[in-house]
């Protein structure tokens, strides 16, 4: 279908070295030659064989996208689906293919071996992980460039892209406090993930800012799942009176919303509600959800570009990039 570099060379009447140079953007090609080869490349629709490319020591332009096993349960959260879509999109736009590795405890060892040994992947993106995930540790000690989405608290030597969860959560809760809501419940994410931990931290900080005590009775443990949030909130509402709820994800906000409405309380009159993520569903709930918007496209693009940078210039040190979130005020608070 697409032929080999040799055939292109023949058509363009140059050596295969020259074709390869053009393909790889090597500056040591006369401009006229380059244009000519480029033209042949275009008309033939040539696609270099990535396997050969990789084998010969170049980059295959393949990125490994890893979902650690501890996170696999969350895989059906729309946040993930959307994140993966944007990562995939960012890769396509940069002519990078994506290899998906859903880590599973049983195959984790083998997976790492394959990632390293199979010689396919130029670098690796870890999409969210549990704190101190051994998989991340292993990856970090491998020669493969690595970028995480979500910061790694104990490892600033690993490049990561994250939203400022602490500050964002704090701002969300401030917003509720400013609107006169004193008793604010929190629906937490998993506390073994940094995003869950940080958002809870932000909640606590906001209370402190206002000189309020943390009331453990107002803390609903959650796992980023709608159902858990629904149940937890339902139970809480039976014993406590609250004026507002901060949910650490939109999925959980949805669950909380259902519980609040089921309890016969009005949103936002009786109970205000702020979520986190700004998934598409947030604008379609009734009333529409006020929430902290995660810049998912930005996270994806930045992660992919950071990784590519790391692949092409391994000498560049690790980077921690923090992206801002934005409060989107709608009808729930």
Partner DNA sequence: CTGAAAGCGCTTACAG
Q: Is 96 in the site for DNA (CB under 7 A)?
A: no
Distance CA 64, CA 210 (A): 44
Closer by beta carbon to DNA, 105 or else 119: 119
Q: Which of residues 117-156 bind DNA (CB under 7 A)?
A: 119
Closer by beta carbon to a second copy, 243 or else 290: 290
Q: Is 50 in the site for a second copy (CB under 8 A)?
A: yes
Distance CA 4, CA 48 (A): 7
**Per-residue binding letters, 50-79, with DNA (x by CB under 7 A):** --xx-xxxx---------------------
CB 178 within 8 A of CB 192: no
According to DSSP, residue 286 is labeled S
Strand partners, 186: 219, 246
H or E segment to which residue 174 belongs: helix 165-178
Tell me whether residue 100 is exposed, middle or buried, using C-beta atoms within 10 angstroms of its C-beta: 0 to 12, 13 to 18, 19 or more.
exposed
Q: Is 39 in the site for DNA (CB under 7 A)?
A: no
Which of 165, 55, 98, 5 lies closest to 308 in space, CA to CA? 98
- Using CB distances below 5 to 8 A depending on partner kind, what does residue 114 bind out of DNA, a second copy, none? a second copy
From edge to edge, which strands make up the β-sheet containing 272-277? Answer: 219-220, 184-187, 244-247, 272-277, 290-293, 326-328
Q: Is 72 in the site for a second copy (CB under 8 A)?
A: yes
| Closest approach of DNA to the CB of residue 198, in Å | 40
- Give the interface with a second copy as residue ranges (CB under 8 A): 1-2, 45-52, 54-55, 60, 62, 65, 72, 75-76, 78, 80-82, 84-85, 88-89, 92-93, 95, 97-102, 104, 106-107, 110-111, 113-114, 116-120, 142-143, 226-227, 258, 280-281, 284
- Give the interface with DNA as residue ranges (CB under 7 A): 3-6, 13-21, 23-24, 27-34, 46, 48-49, 52-53, 55-58, 119
């Amino acid at each position: 279908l697409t032929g080999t570099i040799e055939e292109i060379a023949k058509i363009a009447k140059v050596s295969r070295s020259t074709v390869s140079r053009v393909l790889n953007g090597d500056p040591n090609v006369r401009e006229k030659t380059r244009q000519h080869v480029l033209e042949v490349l275009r008309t033939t629709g040539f696609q270099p064989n990535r396997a050969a490319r990789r084998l010969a020591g170049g980059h295959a332009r393949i990125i490994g996208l890893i979902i650690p096993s501890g996170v696999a349960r969350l895989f059906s959260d729309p946040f993930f689906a959307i994140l993966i879509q944007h990562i995939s999109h960012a890769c396509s736009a940069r002519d990078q293919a994506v290899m998906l590795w859903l880590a599973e405890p049983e195959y984790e060892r083998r997976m790492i071996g394959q990632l390293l040994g199979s010689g396919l992947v130029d670098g690796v993106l870890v999409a969210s992980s549990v704190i101190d995930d051994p998989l991340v540790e292993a990856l970090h000690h491998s020669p493969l460039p690595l970028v995480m989405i979500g910061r790694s608290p104990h490892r600033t030597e690993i490049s990561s892209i994250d939203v400022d969860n602490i500050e964002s959560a704090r701002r969300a809760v401030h917003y509720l406090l400013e609107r006169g809501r004193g008793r604010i419940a929190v629906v937490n994410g998993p506390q073994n993930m940094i995003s869950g931990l940080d958002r809870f931290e932000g909640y606590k900080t906001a209370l402190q800012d206002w000189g309020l005590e943390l009331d453990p009775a107002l803390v609903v443990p959650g796992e980023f799942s709608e159902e858990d949030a629904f149940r937890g909130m339902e139970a809480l509402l039976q014993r406590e009176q609250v004026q507002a709820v901060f949910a650490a994800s939109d999925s959980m906000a949805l669950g909380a919303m259902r519980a609040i409405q089921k309890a016969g309380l009005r949103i936002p009159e009786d109970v205000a509600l702020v979520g986190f993520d700004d998934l598409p569903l947030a604008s379609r709930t009734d009333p529409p959800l006020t929430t902290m918007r995660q810049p998912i496209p930005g996270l994806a693009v930045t992660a992919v570009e950071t990784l590519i940078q790391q692949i092409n210039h391994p000498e560049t040190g690790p980077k921690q990039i923090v992206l801002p979130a934005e409060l989107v005020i709608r009808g729930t608070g």
